[in-house]
Structure formats: C-alpha cells, structure tokens
Structure 1
C-alpha cells in the first residue's frame, strides 16, 4: 500500500516537471505575432500546449521507468 503512494507521488512529480519544462520552453514562442489573437487567447493556448506536451512526454518517461523496473 505504501509503495502505491510513493509511486503515485513520483508519477505526479514527473508529470508536473515535464509540464513545467514544456511551459518554460513554449513561453518565448510568440504566436500572437504570426496569428491575430488576443493576449489572453495566447496565454490559454500556451498553457494548453504545455499541459498536452508535458503530459505526453511525462507519460513516456513513466512508461520507460515502469518497463525498466519490472524487467
């Protein structure tokens, strides 16, 4: 039971790390200059892209971690 809590906390930390890393990477891309969009729309777009990219990359690393632990 305690292993599941540590595993869940590790997975959460990995997901949040990669979401933050994706946000940090995307923050300097200024799409509002190429497309006509309001500043709030740009901020929401960057946030959603960060969550999407971070979740996908984090899930991949969790999958690799689980494969290496279980084999």
Structure 2
C-alpha cells in the first residue's frame, strides 16, 4: 500500500462516521437492537457508517452479536 491509497481511503470516509470511541461506547446498545430485529442502522447512522468502515470495530460488533445470540439459546 502506498501513501496515495491511504489518503484516498481517508478522503472517502463517510462524514457520518462517529469514530471508534463513540462506536465502542454505544456498541452494546446497537448490538442489542440488532439482535432484537430493530433496524439500528436507521437510528444510529454514525455507528453503522463506522462499523462498515472499521474492520476491528466491525469484528467486535460481530462478536458481541454472537455472544448475545448464545445467551438467547
């Protein structure tokens, strides 16, 4: 990867993206809503944008959903 690729990705970041800190602060709420079948991405646009863009946060979200599903079983 060269510097242009990183710059291009940065310039195409969704302006609604709330960043890692805010996404992590609300991740449990977001995951609970998704697990309950609520369209959380409509209520929390910034978190949805961040989870699409940030691989590590997206993985944390998927793990949390799996844990919630495991508790429900």
TM-score normalised by structure 1 residue count: 0.33
The structure showing larger relative contact order (alpha-carbon pairs under 8 Å, at least 6 residues apart) is: 1
More helix by share: 1
The structure with the larger Rg is 1
TM-score normalised by structure 2 residue count: 0.32
